[in-house]
Amino acid sequence: MSRIHVVGAGYVGLVSGACYAHRGNHVTIYDSDRKKLDEIESAQAPFYEPELEPILSESIRSKRLKVVRDVKGGVDGFDFLFMAVGTPSKRDGSINLVNVISACKAIGTTLGNQSGFPIVCIRSTVVPGSTAGVIKTVLERYSGRLVGESFGLVAYPEFLREGSAVNDTLSPKRIVFGTVDERSSRYLEAFLKSFYGDNLPPIVKLNPTSAEMVKYAANAFLGVKISFINEIANLCEKYPGVDVTDVANAIGLDPRIGHSFLNAGVGFGGSCLPKDLRALTFEARKRKVRLALVDAALSVNERQPERIVELAASELGRLQGKHVAVLGLSYKPDTDDIREAPSSKIIEALLRANAKVSAYDPRAMQNIRGVFGHRVRLTKNPRDCLKEANCCLIVTEWDEFTSLKPDDFLELMAEPVVVDGRRIFGPKIFDERVRYRGIGLSSSGKPVR
């Protein structure tokens, strides 16, 4: 079993650390946020992620996962260090490497004293060239040693999704890593073989800069795919009887296109896709390359949350003084994360138009309270949210909302106007009973069946 030190207890660090410990490795975890460490120590996840808590509490109880208060790790040293600190966006779209660099400086000072061949794996999303460039330089300067001689260095990007992070970690579709030195590659591959056993996914071994590029290209492609279907959705609305979900289903049957990431909606959010697309276009501009498609995906995404507000306004006339119920606040289901969530832009637009806003989300209430304070009435359940509303906006496709029936809207709302930003309801059934509008569905909307 390996000794693993994880730096950064966010989605990537904490989930992978808990999973490594769960399968018998000895893991230490550090984060600069003391409160987060206290929570983890008492076996509580600092954020909502399905399936994480049981693994976390078992790993803490068995002492295979230990919280440490020093970025350099425990006294015993480590075989692998997984660096998973945040790389937030700067104003100009580039990423801020300050957390990575300061952790690398501290780690560097311990690398010189460690026995064996410790390997530093960069799991934070860093722009192409970072690992073989500034990260390598800092580690070598602060350790006084050379990569490949007394320690290893790997760019090992992560592809897990929030909401299914545990499953994605235990059963990834592929592993991509890039090494500066051959020994790191062999050691990491041996670790992965023992960790995944018979479930070992395909491993793609590259140089570090290519591995970093894979991460950005993957997220850029996903963003382009979503913005593409959102553009088609906005066009479908102009053709009576045309529904983007039919179009997406039909084009997705072509295996060259595929079904996934063709759900039209209110746009992509979260801490990754928007940030990574911005960082990639920034890096491209620095190199005098214009990423026209990625730029366009970002600008479509910037406007897409407004579309649902426009649909509401087209049904209600004026939004001023109208009560709008917003169902769903997290950027996607199964998470409490509201970073860059379309819900914030939608609520801002509603408040600017002087609408009264009530809102409900199964997990993200506390986080949204921090953003909007008492400007939004937060309710205990979806039914309270709908009471006396003139319009309901479906913003996140939580399972809990799919069980709502036309009768619920008729019974509870002042006016039964439902604008479905995630296309969770059947248009035929809803259109017959309530005033139903949906992203990608024309207003004269009775779908021709």
Residues annotated as catalytic are: 272
Nearest-approach distance from CB 276 to ligand UGA, in angstroms: 6
- Tokens representing 200 are 């070992």
111 or 311: CB nearest ligand UGA: 311
Q: How far is the CB of 38 from ligand UGA (least distance, A)?
A: 25
Token reading at 122: 């960069």
Judged by DSSP in three states, 321 sits in coil
DSSP characters over 140-184: HHHHSS-BTTTBEEEE------TTSHHHHHHS-S-EEEEESSHHH
**Closer residue to ligand UGA, CB minimum distance, 43 or 232:** 232
Give the nearest distance from C-beta 287 to ligand UGA in angstroms: 22
Which residues are registered as beta bridge partners of 166?
none
The minimum distance between CB 425 and ligand UGA, in angstroms, equals 17
Measuring CA to CA, which residue among 138, 195, 140, 142 is closest to residue 172?
195
- Per DSSP (E only), the strands in 103-159 are 119-122, 152-155
Compute the least distance from the CB of residue 31 to ligand UGA, in Å: 17
Q: Which amino acid is at 184?
A: S
Chain residues binding ligand UGA by CB under 6 A are: 125, 158-162, 219, 222, 226, 261-263, 265, 268-270, 272-273, 276, 331-332
The rounded distance, in Å, linking the Cα atoms of 220 and 4 is: 31
CB nearer to ligand UGA: give 110 or 330: 330
If the CB atoms of residues 162 and 181 are measured against ligand UGA, the closer one turns out to be 162
H/E segment holding residue 135 = none
Q: Which is nearer to ligand UGA, 152 or 362 (by Cβ)? A: 362
Q: Considering only CA atoms, which of 303, 316, 385, 309 is closest in space to residue 347?
A: 309
Q: How far is the CB of 226 from ligand UGA (least distance, A)?
A: 5
Q: Are 154 and 119 in contact (CB under 8 A)?
A: yes
Whichever of 124 and 358 has its CB closer to ligand UGA, that residue is: 124
Q: Closest separation between CB of residue 230 and ligand UGA, Å?
A: 7
173 Cβ contact partners less than 8 Å away, ≥ 6 residues apart: 159, 201
- C-alpha pair distances (Å), 364 with each of 45, 274, 329, 331: 15, 20, 6, 9
> What single letter denotes the amino acid at residue 34?
R
- Looking at the Cβ atoms of 165 and 389, the one nearer to ligand UGA is 165
Give me the numbers of helices (H) and strands (E) for the chain, helices first please.
17, 14
The DSSP letter of residue 89 is B
Number of neighbours of residue 342 by Cβ within 10 angstroms:
28
Cβ closer to ligand UGA: 187 or 268? 268
Q: Cα separation of 116 and 79, whole Å? A: 8
Q: How far apart are CA 313 and CA 353, in angstroms?
A: 10
For the CB of residue 288, give the shortest distance to ligand UGA in the complex, in Å.
26
Look up residue 348 and give its two tokens. Answer: 């801002």
Whether residue 276 contacts residue 126, with contact meaning beta carbons closer than 8 Å, is answered with no
Note whether 414 and 392 are within 8 A (CB).
no
Total number of residues shown for the chain: 449
Nearest-angstrom CA–CA distance, 351 and 368: 14
